[in-house]
Amino acid sequence: MVQKADKIWFDGQLVPWDEANVHVLTHTLHYGVAVFEGIRCYKCSDGTSAVFRLKEHVDRLFDSAKAVEMKIPFNRDEIFNAILETLKVNKLEQGYIRPLAFIGEGAMGVHPGNNPVRVIIAVWPWGAYLGEEALQKGIRIKTSSFTRHHVNVMMTKAKVAGNYVNSVLAKMEAVADGYDEALMLDVDGYVAEATGENIFIVKKSRLKTPPPGSILGGITRDTLITLARDMGYEVVEQRFPRDELYAADEAFFCGTAAEVTPIREVDRRVIGAGKAGPVTMLLQSEYFKIVHGENLKYAGWLTSYEL
Ligand code: PPE
């Protein structure tokens, strides 16, 4: 169960958590067109709190809206500030932030007509996405029977609610089969991403991640590419088939929610030594330092807020 906070920001008002409701004929509920973000805020080592890469997340929200021709009735600064305001009223030191813009009630039928675009911002405490143990020991994954979207079937760069039916199906299948997460291939059969994470492999200290295509352009993916290059690693954005993943020295998933999660097994094949690899763990620890404000080189990625 989600851990409730006090208030949800809803179309510019702060309303009690239990009163942030919509009508059953909300267009999005029927046709799936909503755009959203997943953002984390952390309690920093100096006692303050900060949101990680807030500007990039707000920008992606507006880019997603543009892709689906949704006009958000607030500008970027207003959403940026509303997120900080929502964190403050809820006194959330550390947790997850979910802005969502959706099409409200009015006309029914596929064309959204002039139905209002509505916006909510919810925040709540959220620990390790795949469990604390996953961050340390790594997870077991399985190639999904579901293929990631073709770039002309869905707006794959956009974080659109309807895109996630594919993720939900893949995740349920993987969990029912006893795995922690699903590995999703693109329409040509190359490794794409997971249901809510991007993927990297490490071979001979060189990192490889699938190029933008059918994957979500992850902000954590971008963070790790920058970080790994700054640390002297070679990183390439290149397609690779699943047998290259099987033969990797290390593999990991990354995402706002999943942070940096090692992968120890894929389709019953042990990856590397069958535990979190050294490059993965180094990147994970550097990532945690950055989000907790312990690496001033990347302080520009943090937006502090007072509670
Ligand atoms: N791919 C997908 C499909 C995806 O949903 C995410 C984020 C990523 C990659 C990584 O993107 P980024 O967070 O910008 O590094 N998934 C979000 C939602 C998870 C959920 O269960 O809800 C997240 O990590 O917040």
- Note the pLDDT tens digit of each residue in 164-211: 999 999 999 999 999 999 999 999 999 999 999 999 999 999 999 999
| C-alpha 87 to ligand 1 mean position (Å) | 20
Predicted confidence at residue 56, as pLDDT, reads 98
Q: Locate tokens 């179309």: which residue?
A: 11
Is residue 222 within 8 A of residue 212, CB to CB? The reply is: no
Cα atoms in the Cβ-side hemisphere of radius 13 Å centred on 132: 1
Mean pLDDT of 218-244: 98
Task: Kindly report the number of other CB atoms within 10 A of residue 183's CB atom.
Answer: 25
| C-alpha 221 to ligand 1 mean position (Å) | 10
Q: Locate tokens 């579901």: which residue?
A: 146
pTM higher than 0.95: yes
Cα atoms in the Cβ-side hemisphere of radius 13 Å centred on 35: 24
CA 229 to chain centre: 22
Q: Helices (H) and strands (E) in the chain — how many of each? A: 8, 17
- Ligand 1: residue of 216, 284, 291 to mutate (most ligand atoms within 8 A of CB) is 216
- Note the pLDDT tens digit of each residue in 135-172: 999 999 999 999 999 999 999 999 999 999 999 999 99
Predicted confidence at residue 16, as pLDDT, reads 98
Catalytic machinery residues: 159
Q: Give the three-state DSSP class for 159.
A: coil
Ligand 1 lining (C-beta closer than 6 Å): 38, 167, 193, 196-198, 216, 218-221, 255-258
DSSP annotation of 292 reads T
How far, in Å, CA of 227 to CA of 152, rounded?
32
- Note the pLDDT tens digit of each residue in 37-69: 999 999 999 999 999 999 999 999 999 999 999
Strands (DSSP E) found in 144-258: 181-185, 191-194, 198-203, 206-209, 234-237, 250-255
Instruction: Output the DSSP codes for 67-132.
Output: HTT---SS-HHHHHHHHHHHHHHTT-SSEEEEEEEEE-SS--SSS-TTPPEEEEEEEE----TT-H
Atom 8 (ligand 1): residue with closest C-alpha?
Answer: 197
Residue 290 banded pLDDT, cuts 50, 70, 90: very high
Residue 269 banded pLDDT, cuts 50, 70, 90: very high
How far, in Å, CA of 32 to CA of 141, rounded?
28
| C-alpha 11 to ligand 1 mean position (Å) | 24
